[in-house]
Structure 1
């Protein structure tokens, strides 16, 4: 079972006539591909690739937004023993060129629009919107083993040496199946897909959904009205997202509450819900559940820190929130909160088969079948992060007696003051983000002349005149060594972010440093 083609073929055999992938068209109709239909498309495209005389182990790049044909190309490539290099849809040409040099890829699968935007790129192109077909000669298929490389996922930005995480078939399949044991997805579920398949969080959960025989609905647009229409018309039951997307949904709901001048009733319902059994809460907030289509039951949140206050607000409305924690090098899920009896301050318990230990300096290390093979053609980076089967995450945290895992922040983000005290920026950011008028905040260690670093907040605010009061209010809730000594108002509409909406701290720091010169 521990290869992706075997997982996929097993599901196609079991769930043949059930809907696998649903995709909205420009006319608002939805195209449905059953498990049988998906398998047929995979075999046809694999036949075309086979005729191109590809060989096992060759790399193929997929550069596109998530769609049905993304998975067709993915499964077909892996069936032939190829290695998929997934690229974020916003990848720039210079980075694309660097990855081509590093991976020596055989093909680029992308849209005609993306390909024609490239000025000097010679890799053979396959149009993802019109995948070519041919008859597959099954007798010539290579043997694909669980230890074979399945994906090369590059995690760095456009500066520095890109690191390609080498994920085997076993890494991904074991993580998908283990995740399913905790999240409890079934063939009756329908998931709305809004994250890119180039990100392992989305990819592994989609593998879990397919293993369970569930259906995946792709969203072509992230416009809230479009998403709500899909949630309602497609009977969506679950969604994988990042915390900022949860906040954006909540912002939209609260705007409507204010528009209808129902703020007092809204606060009262939340107070009542805290003392109400979970199944009954959806009746208190029935209008919200109708907006979500009436079938929705849970969110799986990951990729960044989820503020407990935000998670609790959703659970008070009768929406279950499962917070997970992971890293690309772990395929990516390390831990997740169980559906029942969980605390939103924690990122959950390690998945079945995954072992977590906390080193003396507080670093989280992980061991299990999901841990990557290392970094592509980078022995130095591999030796630094992987040792005796353990992966050093670079994250700081601790575990309680119930094996719940808690995060403190990133080792590289840790601010060490001149007096030797440690400051975790994430702790301060969490307090700042609860302040009225603060849309987001980044806390950095800013060096002042010959002194050591001081705690500096960069604020994204609706009303800049409230900044000083915000800092004063925040400092009252912090220990003396944590207190913010200076602040800057971010001049742009938003912070620079990754494709999973994480703030690019280094870019914020560089911009701040340049403005102070």
Structure 2
């Protein structure tokens, strides 16, 4: 199949903007709980639709009083927290355009984004962020205001706007139209300077309303079991922003968690008890590996592995049945599944709060077997695919017919097309408006409503998309063999000891790889084998560990021909990090930067 179109189920309203939902919610059901907010004492407190509306309105007045005007661009640099969402909707209420900035961004990255977008004001989370902007402020002549959340920016602005009437805010809100720009989100910049994607109110409304309507089982209200999600994705990323907007428009309770590490996240999942979560594959990998390590420490790794096998086979049987290709799980398999549900699967669900039945995954590819395991364990992980330019998801797996290992079908109201060279082209109401200050890049990407994604993929007979690599990342060996590194890297990463893998070989005689290690997994691996703790330099030379990584490479090589296989590899002592400029804020590999920093190691891979 070369093209798949999914009929629309939602259209953006002909008038108004994103902030209208806040005021409509309060008018229609003032006491409905729309947020859970964690206090300094660690307790979660409810925020009603009326309370949120009032906070948004007061903050919007303050922004107007402090000089923010319709069409102004205002940056937000913070981790995921309630105040980010509050600022988003207050800024959208007065017609401002929000420029999100990753809290880990360097001074030079901040300078580029704030200068390119011409922001007139910025809100930061704490003093470190303020100092980052302060270090480049002399090169930002348009920046007039800087507020700091941890210095009571909300209170300061609220007080500043007390003298203004509500009508002043309402006039600004009524002036917003669906085609007004809501946000400028900068791409991660794996191959150059980030580009500012112009995303309209209509783009976000179309995306959010489509997701809520089509994936109704995920968001449906049940008596005594109101839908809720804990948002821990970065709000600087388009996926997190779409979730934020969808929850407000769908009147779904949302909580915020700023820390992605398990120590902070797991207790909040237990306390907030979401009904669904939205995450990247890394989170599901960590949950699975934590369960496996716990089983190994207690000497129950055999039963755990058996439980995994049962879950996978059970899920495969359900998957086949949903496509009319099988009768479903056998009676014997159902009995085994029921046994392990009490012993293993319930504990996996409990780690996510106990109420989660659905999850959405994006950002990178999820291993098919991992998706099957979670489905068999009672959590349906719906994998999707999208870009900043598509306002998050352009494809996603439907809940009733999930095909694991794919990124699903085009979401309703969109079309996916595979070009002659294998590139994925898409069109629909969620396609962005172009790149800020970059007509050349816009013309290269947008073609009469079609977006050329730069990704390579294929559609199966049912219109399910599989992403096979990036067009610009195709390696060509000196022998002329074209190799897509993505599937090799993902399969190597499936090994629990591997944190990252980058495949090299452009203009080289064969394919090779650099591999980094997961420190937690390695520590557990050493303890289980009663090995002494080793320094990073000692670890990379450990023959047993090298054997484990070699197994991962051999498994990856089964996916490709001999000419495309990884011939040799090197284990590195340290992981690639954003701090050292080797990862984007969304954790994508910066290939050129990595190959530059590790040029000596790459050369060593090709010495005879």
- Normalised TM-score (structure 1): 0.93
Paired with 1:370 and 1:293, the residues of 2 have a C-alpha distance of 32
Deviation, 1:212, is 1.6
Paired with 2:393 and 2:67, the residues of 1 have a C-alpha distance of 35
2:469 counterpart residue number: 409
Paired with 1:163 and 1:478, the residues of 2 have a C-alpha distance of 34
Give 1:508's match in structure 2, choosing from 584, 588, 594.
Answer: 594
Deviation, 1:15, is 4.1
Deviation, 1:469, is 5.4
Deviation, 1:61, is 0.5
Aligned ranges for residues 330-479 of structure 1 at < 5 Å? Answer: 330-435=390-495, 437-448=497-508, 454-461=510-517, 462=522, 464-466=545-547, 467-468=549-550, 470-472=552-554, 474-476=556-558, 478-479=560-561
Q: Are 1:168 and 2:205 an aligned pair?
A: no
Q: What is the number of equivalent residue pairs in this alignment?
A: 513
Alignment check: 8 A CA contact 2:82 2:255 kept: no
SS in 1 for 2:19: helix
Deviation, 1:334, is 0.3
Paired with 1:482 and 1:320, the residues of 2 have a C-alpha distance of 34
Give 1:196's match in structure 2, choosing from 214, 234, 241.
Answer: 234
2:269 counterpart residue number: 231
Q: 1:237 to 1:5 in 2, by over 3 A?
A: same
Paired with 1:476 and 1:186, the residues of 2 have a C-alpha distance of 42
SS in 2 for 1:374: coil
Q: Are 1:60 and 2:146 an aligned pair?
A: no
Q: 1:210 to 1:436 in 2, by over 3 A?
A: closer
Alignment check: 8 A CA contact 2:494 2:552 kept: no
Q: 1:387 to 1:217 in 2, by over 3 A?
A: same
1:14 counterpart residue number: 28
Q: Deviations over 1:60-114 (max 9, x none)?
A: 0011111111111111111111110010111122222222221221111113412
Paired with 1:67 and 1:404, the residues of 2 have a C-alpha distance of 35
Give 1:179's match in structure 2, choosing from 191, 207, 211.
Answer: 211
Q: 1:476 to 1:290 in 2, by over 3 A?
A: closer
2:564 counterpart residue number: 482
Alignment check: 8 A CA contact 1:428 1:443 kept: yes
Paired with 2:351 and 2:86, the residues of 1 have a C-alpha distance of 32
Paired with 1:101 and 1:375, the residues of 2 have a C-alpha distance of 15
Q: Are 1:34 and 2:48 an aligned pair?
A: yes
After superposing on structure 2, the runs of 4+ consecutive aligned residues of structure 1 that deviate more than 6 Å are none
Give 1:90's match in structure 2, choosing from 97, 101, 104.
Answer: 104
SS in 2 for 1:339: coil
Which structure: greater helix fraction?
2
Deviation, 1:298, is 1.5
Deviation, 1:266, is 1.1
Paired with 2:78 and 2:249, the residues of 1 have a C-alpha distance of 24
Aligned ranges for residues 192-341 of structure 1 at < 5 Å? Answer: 192-273=230-311, 274-275=313-314, 276=333, 282-283=341-342, 285-341=345-401
Q: Deviations over 1:96-142 (max 9, x none)?
A: 22222212211111134121453342631122342121245444423
Paired with 1:251 and 1:483, the residues of 2 have a C-alpha distance of 27
SS in 2 for 1:485: strand
Which is bigger in relative contact order (C-alpha 8 A, separation at least 6)?
A: 2
Alignment check: 8 A CA contact 2:59 2:90 kept: yes
Paired with 1:471 and 1:303, the residues of 2 have a C-alpha distance of 23
Any gaps of 5 or more consecutive residues in structure 2?
Answer: 1-12, 315-332, 523-541, 604-608
Alignment check: 8 A CA contact 1:186 1:212 kept: no
Deviation, 1:409, is 0.7
- Normalised TM-score (structure 2): 0.79
Deviation, 1:296, is 1.3
Deviation, 1:316, is 2.0
Q: Deviations over 1:131-155 (max 9, x none)?
A: 1212454444230000011111111
Deviation, 1:510, is 2.0
Q: 1:419 to 1:30 in 2, by over 3 A?
A: same
Any gaps of 5 or more consecutive residues in structure 1?
Answer: none
Alignment check: 8 A CA contact 2:424 2:453 kept: yes
Paired with 2:29 and 2:446, the residues of 1 have a C-alpha distance of 39
Deviation, 1:6, is 2.1
Alignment check: 8 A CA contact 1:315 1:321 kept: yes
1:119 counterpart residue number: 135
Q: 1:468 to 1:399 in 2, by over 3 A?
A: closer
1:150 counterpart residue number: 182
Paired with 1:353 and 1:468, the residues of 2 have a C-alpha distance of 45
Alignment check: 8 A CA contact 1:299 1:320 kept: yes
Segment of structure 1 superposing worse, 344-353 or 137-146 = 137-146
Segment of structure 1 superposing worse, 198-207 or 20-29 = 20-29
SS in 1 for 2:412: coil
